[in-house]
């Protein structure tokens, strides 16, 4: 394992070195964007910092994105009318749509957002430590106090999300929520750096799966969650689906 990790580190550092020697401002990939970041003093990220953020983007999002996709597949098959509506939206693009067209599909986007609202893989955001006194909802908080926003509890507020325990993608077609009402990727300066990549992966993978396969749940009972590591909440491992049909329409990406 350590040998593999060192090999990945070496490969990324070589890529960073090559990018520094042959700077191309037109590049728009994740690494190029990280290399374009400057702090208040105009300094770039160091090689060690670029390596750290690259590793987060490549590997830390693996479990979170796959877990969210699992939840999406569960919910759209648990409620067939949602599955059918999504299938029709995807099929309307034809056999060889531009990936950007898939990414912009409104109902697909709403389904992804509703899944991350109801089943956030990370239930709490990054904490903040107060530097000055704060009066908040009747509480007097002193400097040094750590505040940790609860993503899950915010997403379960009935004043924001009527019938919060129900899976209703349409709520994201009818209303635009603020960054303080909906934040599955965290917020502020600590927002997840893999946000755009995760959203793109989920939408493209789901579109390809639905264009090629007809799936079914082996049973329709509610799925429980389980903790993975220190902060991830994922579906239990016994969630199973079967392929019932291979489809002719195939999206090529």
Per-residue pLDDT of 6-33, as tens digits, reads: 888 899 899 888 888 876 666 667 788 7
pLDDT in tens, 120-165: 988 888 888 999 999 988 999 999 999 989 999 999 999 999 999 9
Helix 106-118 to helix 195-212 angle (10° resolution) is 110
Q: Predicted confidence band at 84 (pLDDT cuts at 50, 70, 90)?
A: very high
How far apart CA 108 and CA 53 sit, in angstroms, is 28
Domains by residue range for the chain, with CATH = 1-45 (no CATH), 61-122+153-246 (1.10.630.10)
């Amino acid at each position: 394992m350590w040998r593999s990790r060192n090999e990945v580190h070496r490969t990324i550092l070589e890529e960073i070195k090559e990018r520094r020697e042959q700077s191309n401002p037109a590049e728009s990939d994740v690494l190029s964007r990280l290399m374009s970041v400057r702090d208040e003093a105009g300094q770039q990220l160091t090689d060690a910092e670029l390596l750290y953020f690259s590793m987060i983007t490549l590997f830390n999002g693996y479990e979170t994105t796959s877990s969210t996709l699992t939840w999406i597949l569960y919910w759209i098959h648990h409620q067939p009318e949602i599955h059918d509506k999504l299938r029709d939206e995807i099929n309307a693009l034809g056999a060889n749509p531009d990936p950007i067209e898939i990414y912009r599909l409104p109902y697909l986007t709403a389904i992804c957002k509703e899944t991350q609202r109801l089943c956030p893989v990370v239930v709490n955001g990054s904490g903040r430590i107060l530097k000055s006194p704060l009066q908040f909802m009747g509480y007097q908080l002193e400097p040094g106090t750590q505040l940790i926003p609860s993503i899950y509890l915010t997403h379960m507020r009935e004043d924001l999300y009527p019938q919060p325990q129900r899976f209703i993608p349409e709520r994201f077609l009818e209303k635009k929520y603020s960054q303080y009402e909906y934040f599955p990727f965290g917020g502020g300066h600590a927002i997840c750096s893999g946000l755009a990549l995760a959203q793109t992966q989920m939408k493209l993978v789901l579109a390809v799966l639905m264009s090629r396969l007809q799936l079914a749940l082996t049973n329709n009972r509610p799925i429980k969650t389980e903790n993975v590591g220190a902060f991830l909440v994922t579906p239990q491992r016994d969630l199973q689906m079967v392929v019932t049909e291979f489809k002719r329409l195939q999206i090529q990406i």
